[in-house]
Amino acid sequence: MLVPFAGLQVTQRCKPAAAQLQRPAQLPVARAQRCLAVMASESLANGTATDERVEALRKAMKEAGVDAYIVPSEDAHMSEYAPDCDARRQFISRFTGSAGTAVVTATAAALWTDGRYFLQASQQLGPAWTLMRGGSPGCPDIPEWLASNVPEGGRVGIDPFVHTVDNAVALDKKLSSAGRALAPLLTGNLVDAVWGTERPPPPAALLRVHRLEHAGESVASKVARMRKDMAGVGTGALLATALDEVAWLLNLRGGDVPYNPVFVSYVLLTTDTAALYVDAAKVTEDAKAHLEEAGVAVKPYDALLADVRALAAAGTKIWADPAKVSYAIHRAACEALAEAEEPKSPRGKRNSTPRKRPRRESGASEASAAETEPGTSAERRAERLFVALPSPVAAAKALKNEAELAGMREAHLRDAVALAETFVWLEQQVAAGAALTEVGVDEYLTGRRAAQPGFVEPSFPTIAGAGANGAIIHYRAQPEGCAGVDGETLLLVDSGGQYDCGTTDVTRTFHLGEPSAYQRECFTRVLQGHIALDSAVFPEGTPGLALDTLARAPLWSVGLNYRHGTGHGVGAALNVHEGPQSISARWHNHTPLEAGMVVSNEPGYYEDGAFGIRIENLLVIREEPTPHRFGGQAFLGFERLTLCALQRKMIALELLSDRELAWVDAYHAQVWGAVSPRLDGRDDALEWLRTHTAPLPARAPKAAAPAPPPVAAAPAVAVA
């Protein structure tokens, strides 16, 4: 399942990164001129209609003393999938897309989203709302818009639990340089007050222990590794707020949201304590024993802030990734430290203060320095209090151990059976002229997966897009009105499963009739990009961005491209999207690819209104036994996890090089060898696999190499 360029943080970045791909950096003047362009917004009905939810929010804003209120999509853990009770932006705006930020003032209500959702948002937003087309020329970002829509000196309210530190600090800076103030409200989310009793209850799924057989490392060992990392950067505490980090660290799984087997919680480690903050009702006896054995205390979810405050007041340095941790936690800690320091004598030195502040000018007295810089003292306090580095839990989680990899391989074998069973059924149905739909394909495939041992749930909503629907990158077929599946169009199926031992994510594109030459050319160029990335060998330390071009070059050569990343990290029996690595044009992500990481390889091509093509396998990064090791460095390459045939009729053989042809045959032989034993007795599926994994037919003999361009007659001379 691809990761779109458009991120979730519409609050911070109005322009989705898809536009970045096309113009990743502008010369300064062009950039500046663009800022002057007209606003790309759409007032759905002049913004004058009333909306009772918005009106109720305005009342709450007035009581809270703020002139505007920002409602992002995020929950307190910055989850990709949040529990229903956290779908505040959806509730207030009625827009259900995955990415968007609502902003309400006394007179306006605006929603920012990206190009994937312009149509949907314009249909779902009521007449009180203005749609802000993020990424369109001249679309202001939220702070710019607030500067025009909130009076000078006005206060912009946020719930600091649903904004990251990075996000809130940037917002604060922009607002304050525009003469407006950020007002983090700790008295509860104002949307919850409007939602009232209609708000869904918080999720309450029970915890499951993730068996050591699949986790491959005990909780005690993971905690010890984290403490080593903490010592390495001189910090006394580590806070994990991302739910997949908590689940990985504690070898626990949950069911609080669909698709991601996580549970709403925090973990706080110190050098000698470890605590899980979670609703106690979710902690089964099994989980309790498991945590006790690992020396992890269970505390109420809401107890986190008080414990963070206590650490901060004691001057303990806390490792908290500012791109993931909520501003609420950050502020609570800073305030606790300030309170702990301020009642003391203004120049008293506390042992717990990590480091003396240097004097900038040798002539300035310490007292005057303290008095003259209060404007920045909060920043400096935060610098002293926090280690603002990416989470070491995310980094450790990304590197799969051998047990996790064995589980991932097994999950992919089970998945391969379900895929073969589904695709042979699909061919039979179409051949028989059955009335098939996209939802029907999804249901059958999910059913075949569910028949496999250890299946938990899909790892994301299946994307089954026939014809033009295949070009909608995050399409989800709905029972009412979804397209039929027949022999007339291409069918793109992107799906995955959560198993007890691992997570899968695979995309195949089929034509169940006669594809056009153009469709075959596009498919083949996508395949060439897929092969180029799959075959890449690269020195350790290479970031994923350096490989993205390999997957695009065959499409670029004829002026084609795709507007999404090429590869994302995948968890082991965890979230199907995980960081920190990425293979994409996100040029700012310099995370090196490392042995043990799992990534997707999913180039595509999408012709609006016509068809979509994507070929996706999951890969494990492994050390490659290259004949040389330049500079003593290890070189890395990929091992394929996904085992599913490519549709032969879609491959334009004449476009493939000998090496590419050999790759296809080798991959198909690997699929046959690994999957056929599991299809024993299932004759239809076995025959389908045999047919689809046979060697490609020999090509017509190659034409001679193309003649050189006619710049001049090539000299007719014997070769030296």
Binding mask 137-166 for its own copies (x = CB under 8 A): ---------------xx-x-----------
- Size, binding site for its own copies by CB under 8 A: 120
Helix H or strand E segment including 312: helix 304-313
CB of 339 to its own copies, least distance (A): 19
Backbone angles phi, psi at 416, to 5 degrees: -60, -35
- The answer to whether the beta carbons of residues 565 and 555 sit under 8 Å apart is no
CB of 255 to its own copies, least distance (A): 31
Return the amino acid letter for 547: L
DSSP string, 462-482: -EEEEGGGGGSTT----TTTP
CB of 253 to its own copies, least distance (A): 25
Name which of 201 and 631 has its Cβ closer to its own copies: 631
Report the site for its own copies in 465-494 (rule: CB under 8 A): none
DSSP string, 520-540: HHHHHHHHHHHHHHHT--EET
Name which of 26 and 428 has its Cβ closer to its own copies: 26
Q: Give 197's strand partners.
A: none
Per CB under 8 A, the list member of 14, 283, 661, 685 interacting with its own copies is: 661
- The answer to whether the beta carbons of residues 237 and 275 sit under 8 Å apart is no
- The Cα–Cα gap between 273 and 287 comes to 18
Q: Is 370 in the site for its own copies (CB under 8 A)?
A: no
Which one of 158-166, 329-337, 369-377, 503-511 is the stretch in contact with its own copies (CB under 8 A)? 369-377
Name which of 25 and 432 has its Cβ closer to its own copies: 25
Per CB under 8 A, the list member of 59, 62, 344, 690 interacting with its own copies is: 690
- The answer to whether the beta carbons of residues 562 and 530 sit under 8 Å apart is no
Per CB under 8 A, the list member of 366, 371, 488, 683 interacting with its own copies is: 371
Per CB under 8 A, the list member of 178, 314, 338, 655 interacting with its own copies is: 178
CB of 557 to its own copies, least distance (A): 5
- The Cα–Cα gap between 495 and 412 comes to 12
Q: Do you know the residue count of the chain?
A: 720
DSSP single-letter state for residue 20:
H
CB of 181 to its own copies, least distance (A): 6
Q: Is 340 in the site for its own copies (CB under 8 A)?
A: no
CB of 662 to its own copies, least distance (A): 4
CB of 515 to its own copies, least distance (A): 13
Which one of 191-199, 300-308, 480-488, 667-675 is the stretch in contact with its own copies (CB under 8 A)? 667-675
Report the site for its own copies in 4-23 (rule: CB under 8 A): 21-23
The tokens describing 501, both together, are 């031992």
- The Cα–Cα gap between 258 and 713 comes to 67
Which one of 101-109, 324-332, 364-372, 500-508 is the stretch in contact with its own copies (CB under 8 A)? 364-372
- The answer to whether the beta carbons of residues 247 and 253 sit under 8 Å apart is yes
CB of 117 to its own copies, least distance (A): 18
- The answer to whether the beta carbons of residues 104 and 57 sit under 8 Å apart is yes
Per CB under 8 A, the list member of 658, 680, 681, 700 interacting with its own copies is: 658
The whole-angstrom distance between residue 517's C-alpha and the CA centroid of its chain comes to: 35
Strand bridging mode 318-319 / 237-240: parallel
Report the site for its own copies in 570-609 (rule: CB under 8 A): 585, 587, 590-592
Ordered alpha helix ranges (H), 357-479:
366-372, 374-385, 392-398, 402-431, 438-450
DSSP string, 566-577: SEEE--SSS-SS
Q: Cα dist. 17→13, 469, 585 in Å?
A: 9, 22, 9
Per CB under 8 A, the list member of 360, 433, 478, 700 interacting with its own copies is: 360
Binding mask 531-560 for its own copies (x = CB under 8 A): -----xxxxxxxx-xxxxxx--x-xxxxxx
Report the site for its own copies in 226-285 (rule: CB under 8 A): 228-229, 232-234
Ordered alpha helix ranges (H), 94-188:
118-124, 142-149, 165-177
Q: Is 720 in the site for its own copies (CB under 8 A)?
A: yes
Q: Helix or strand or coil: residue 681?
A: coil
- The Cα–Cα gap between 90 and 72 comes to 9
DSSP single-letter state for residue 587:
T
- The Cα–Cα gap between 457 and 469 comes to 24
Report the site for its own copies in 393-452 (rule: CB under 8 A): 395
With 0-12 CB in 10 A as exposed, 13-18 as middle and 19+ as buried, what is 601?
buried
Q: Is 62 in the site for its own copies (CB under 8 A)?
A: no
Identify which of 196, 207, 311, 281 has the alpha carbon closest to the alpha carbon of residue 251: 207
- The answer to whether the beta carbons of residues 567 and 582 sit under 8 Å apart is yes
Which one of 30-38, 101-109, 213-221, 272-280 is the stretch in contact with its own copies (CB under 8 A)? 30-38
CB of 450 to its own copies, least distance (A): 28
Name which of 428 and 691 has its Cβ closer to its own copies: 691
In which residue are the tokens 């989203």 written?
113
Per CB under 8 A, the list member of 107, 343, 356, 681 interacting with its own copies is: 356
Name which of 122 and 561 has its Cβ closer to its own copies: 561
Q: Is 96 in the site for its own copies (CB under 8 A)?
A: no
Name which of 375 and 609 has its Cβ closer to its own copies: 375
Which one of 189-197, 262-270, 323-331, 654-662 is the stretch in contact with its own copies (CB under 8 A)? 654-662
Report the site for its own copies in 194-233 (rule: CB under 8 A): 228-229, 232-233
Q: Is 181 in the site for its own copies (CB under 8 A)?
A: yes
Ordered alpha helix ranges (H), 614-708:
658-675, 683-693
Q: Is 376 in the site for its own copies (CB under 8 A)?
A: yes
Report the site for its own copies in 382-401 (rule: CB under 8 A): 389-390, 392, 395
Per CB under 8 A, the list member of 362, 478, 680, 681 interacting with its own copies is: 362
CB of 220 to its own copies, least distance (A): 19
